[in-house]
Structure 1
């Protein structure tokens, strides 16, 4: 990562040789003058008591309150992160760290850096990402807002486990340790608070060894409000999870809608459906079923396109079963399905128009004919959706690298005289 400036701390070499540093405690910082010294001193003290060759690294994100000087005086090495945001500071710090393992934690003194033995043991045992779990270790009074404790963190963590099958109970714990090179290899890209989710999700998709240890969350020692913004940062976490799981964002909801719509349409196609005394479903429910089919099909196709785009740009790893499906869903096959649906829809409308013509284009009270019209129009809409989506899929398959390689082969085979 370019642009890292360093100040203070340990020398880069000792007697001309690189020092052997096993652990780096990484602390992102932005105007934490009230608590940064406490965090650094606790971390330095832990290394000394545990006999660990380590460094305390503060990745500063533009502090103007003297945090840099305070951190250096307490024994930390400081790097200046040129990328704004929580994720930006951590990304820069991870690249600047000298330890084989990194343990990261916030600079507000809410995590206890004086005892990190559980993280150290798990990392030395082969864990590549070791997450703290505040719900198992304990949340002290006043340490976490009730909205975060009972809604935000549990819901987002549950969504993460559901979408990605990750055995982690606290997705957003700020205290975690990892094998530095393993995390660098993930090529993490977000710069905001969603960096915490990206690390866990990417580690899971890369099949890293993820473990969890209990950790205690204390009330932070700051007098100012935290940098975290509940709704803004909560949405950024949720958005990241959704965009990286096309199955749950598009595929499964679309399949549920489509199947429910088809069941409703099939049940009502013969006529009115009586449920119980005085309650029945008729043409309005039939229209709802048609709409559910249209929306469901479009969601499924969007999921296929999103998954292909993600695999093409290596945003998501290739999956064998998913790849077989993506390979089977070609532009030509989508267009063939669209043509069949279009023909069926046009045929249905032609039939209904013929019946209407036989009635001299007057009023028709035949509810079944109206159902045929609605279903035919829905088929035409789905056909148009599929056709447009098929062409979009074809555009995605125009890979610039492949096109350039083909052009190079043509130039080599047929040189211009």
Structure 2
């Protein structure tokens, strides 16, 4: 119905324009009405045929050709009707037929040319879709057009690029997760094996110094408990399910307490701890959480500081509260400083087995600092340097 309405609308406009501009006589009016009706019928018939044919066509080139040929045919019918009613000379009619034939052939050449370009671009898009379906994420269409086909080709290339990036990220995540689980298994296995050996020795009455074994067993249990607590805390941080009770705190005081607690560990590693503060450095935060962050950073620095070196903790108030922990180790590689705090990554040296620990310290530190609305970052070596900053 829309098509019929459109044709009738065109006819009404043309008839009105004819009446205004030509003021035809009754005889001319009848002739013009015959031309208009014949053209309208030819147009309607062509549209019906094309609507049936286009879905059946196996090529865009054929569709373009059929559309162009149909448009030429409708124009030819209109011209033929007009000439048949207006021309009386057979010579003029033959000349008109020749001109119409030439125009039709040129239209065919034009349609084949345009259709060929369109078909090639669509074939490229189809090949890329098949290649991507087969696992080739490097395939691209290479189609550069400004029309709708170009938009679709650009969207297809963008989708393939996104799939490639997502696939790469998935592989990296799987590798990092496997590495992380291996590190966790290692850290769980060591104290469990020690506990099992101690229990078997006690059961077989092979122990002379029972209190010393009990002390060692307690230390292994505390190690396991700390690892489980770290995993639980990290899970809550990643889920955003951690309630922090905030208050005004002095970061310099929290850093002093953390340094005092970590002195024994530093002594066992032949590392000296030094605290440098500019006085009271105020911020708003959860004291226990911020102390945990500073201890984690110090612990990480001690593990990678060489013997007879110094780990420094600097607390500065420069408009914002800042804590910087440095060591004299090899530090972070430049290409990995942005991944140092990721939960699953080989880039963070704190996640290597050789240094001990599953390497959750920096990941937890980042989660706690970001929960306070602060930022934390690492600088590349030589020398390890991790800094966090909180609103003052």
Which TM-score tier does this pair reach, normalised by the shorter chain? under 0.3
Higher RCO (Cα < 8 Å, 6 or more apart):
1
Question: Could you tell me the TM-score, scaled by structure 1's length?
Answer: 0.23
Give the structure with higher Rg (CA).
Answer: 2
